[in-house]
Amino acid sequence: MKKLLLVGLVLIGLCFGLFNFKGLASQGEFEEIVLDFREDIPISQIDNQLSAIAQQFNLAPQLNSIFSLPDNVYIVKGDRATLKALQKSPVAKSTEYIEPNYIYKALEVPNDPEYNKQWNLRSIKVESAWDETKGSGVTVAVIDTGISPVPDLKQTKFVRGYDFVNNRETVTDDSGHGTHVAGTIAQSTNNNYGVAGIAYEANVMPLKVLSAFGGGTVADIAEAIKFAADHNADVINMSLGGGGDSHLLKDAITYAHRKGVVIIAAAGNASKNAASYPARYPHVIGVAALDPAGEKAPYSNFGAGVDISAPGGVGTGAGGILQETINSDGQAMFVSFQGTSMAAPHVAGVAALVKATGMKEPDQVLNVLKKSAMRVKNDTLNHYGAGQLDAAAAVKLAVRGQISFQDFFRWLRDNGYLNPRFWIDGGAVALFPKLAMVLGSYLLAWFLRVYFPFTWSWSLLGGLVAGSSGLFFLRGFYIFDFPQVPFRVMGSSIPEIGNAIAGNSILNPLFASVLIPFILVAFLLNKPMWKWFAIGTALGVAACLGVNAVVSPAVWGFGSGAIARIFLLINALMCYSLALLAVKEEQPR
């Protein structure tokens, strides 16, 4: 009874929260109220209503403009109390609506003349983020090839760094890579020159660990990480990576993380199913690259170690990431680069914006970045991590300070989790179809038991689960630095094993048929310990194929139309018939 009461209270609280959730729609600012009178009432009646408003509320209604007369749109000064009073007054019956005359503001657009070419900044909605913060007071360490003082970094604030390649305090760039990366993070902005940066009021700490040829050692990188942590860096960006697990580097990362530093690294450009080091280490935010269309860039690594994705560009033209850097002669020039090296500083810049709101702990920053990311459906191979970087959403979430129930509900709604289609179309783990497969297999077993009594056993139940759904909740599960194929396989039913290995949603007809249940029954029927597992598997596969025939009838070689549905239904019937025959064989004659 107590449990029932507790569940009831939780449901009541949930319903109250949902029905009273107003969200962004009611959060605007206003100083005036709009009265839109119905067009089917005479002008004389409207005049009487306006006079009543003026007398009762001491207001002076007036047309919004000379163009408002045909629509009967009037404006009065007022606050929320006045708004509620007008909405409850007899005047409301003569209006189509009475609502706030909200004030919308122009989103900050920098005056940098080449900003219109920075599709990457607009794609992460940085203009809305600038309404809250521009990164002031935060220090971002750029561990790279160094930074050269190009004109569009003239107003950017720098703090003392170090050149670990040449062992000196003067840090210059002899490649152009580090200068380009620093520009994305904090290029001088609103200076009527060049392009813009994300956290352009932040401080930049230049740390050179890569030579002119782009190579650097783990020892130098580890020292640079510790230097940044010891000299009050808030964020570290490492647009570098490679193979090989280093205890020295891992210890340096742990050291910086414990001191509150957010550490970001590029996932790598080899198009491999795993991020490179150091992105793969714990406490490092691994960043995959997006093209201008928001798709995974063809060169970007994916899979284990990828936490989030951000614009990395494609090509060196309009599809690349534009910043001012230096050429081989050391001369300043605007150039577009591509790579996860370009994607990582986007996340570093947004992390600086989030830190500037007062958030301190690196794990909190990571949580904000992930929860605010624009989710990508059907990301079975983890191309995008938590999703696509969203600067505006990240900053707004950070400004709230904590994730309340309403914030969590908003996140669920905005990311589609409250839409049943999300669960049905495979956006997460296809919850509803999977439950239907499990329940279907149990129902089939129950029908058999009605006519051929037998004892339920763990062997039978294991077969039902393996054949119908597998451990489906594992299919989208990720463990750091571990390949995803085992989880996809364990999270699949027998008919889905083929596409789980291939990483797609198309059923393999060899697996999605009576073949495997037939082999299991043929080999295990005479083995007392395993025969019921084979029978349960046949029933589970029958349920799985039946549900797929309705929900997702995509079969390799048969398409996804009527032929595929017929194939799946016939094999579902054959699986059930096979289980029926096997159970008959078990009954005493």
Q: Per residue in 226-262, pLDDT tens?
A: 999 999 999 999 999 988 888 999 999 999 999 999 9
pLDDT for the residue 22: 42
How many angstroms separate the CA atoms of 50 and 73, rounded?
A: 12
pLDDT for the residue 20: 41
Q: Pick the residue with more confidence: 526 or 120?
A: 120
Task: Give the C-alpha distances (Å, rounded to integers) separating 337 from 183, 295, 298, 422, 559.
Answer: 12, 17, 14, 36, 40
Mean of the pLDDT values across residues 211-234? Answer: 93
Q: Which amino acid is at 81?
A: A
511: Cβ contacts below 8 Å, ≥ 6 apart: 494, 495, 496, 497, 498
Band (pLDDT 50/70/90 cuts) for residue 391 is: very high
Dihedral Cα 108, 112, 117, 120, nearest 10 deg = -50
pLDDT for the residue 411: 55
Assess contact for 353 and 133: CB atoms under 8 A: yes
Alpha helices in 187-288 (DSSP H): 218-230, 247-258
Which residue in the list 123, 148, 163, 177 is annotated as catalytic?
Answer: 177
Which residue in the list 123, 175, 246, 341 is annotated as catalytic?
Answer: 341
525: Cβ contacts below 8 Å, ≥ 6 apart: 531, 534, 582, 585
Average pLDDT of the chain, as a whole number: 85
Q: How big is the chain, counted in residues? A: 589
Task: Give the C-alpha distances (Å, rounded to integers) separating 462 from 35, 351, 399, 471, 544.
Answer: 65, 46, 48, 11, 15
Q: Pick the residue with more confidence: 82 or 412?
A: 82
Q: Pick the residue with more confidence: 401 or 178?
A: 178
Is pLDDT at 108 greater than 70 in this prediction? no
Predicted confidence (pLDDT) per residue in 436-471, tens digit: 888 889 999 888 888 788 888 888 989 898 898 888
177 classed as catalytic? yes
pLDDT for the residue 19: 39
Mean of the pLDDT values across residues 525-542? Answer: 89
pTM, whole model, 2 decimals? 0.61
Query: Six-digit token pair at 570?
Result: 């016939």
Q: Which amino acid is at 79?
A: D
pLDDT for the residue 419: 56
Which residue in the list 144, 234, 307, 390 is annotated as catalytic?
Answer: 144
Band (pLDDT 50/70/90 cuts) for residue 317 is: confident
Least confident piece of the model among 281-290, 366-375, 548-557? 548-557
Predicted confidence (pLDDT) per residue in 48-90, tens digit: 989 989 988 888 999 988 788 888 899 999 998 898 889 888 8
Band (pLDDT 50/70/90 cuts) for residue 362 is: very high
395: Cβ contacts below 8 Å, ≥ 6 apart: 128, 129, 132, 133, 350, 353, 354, 357
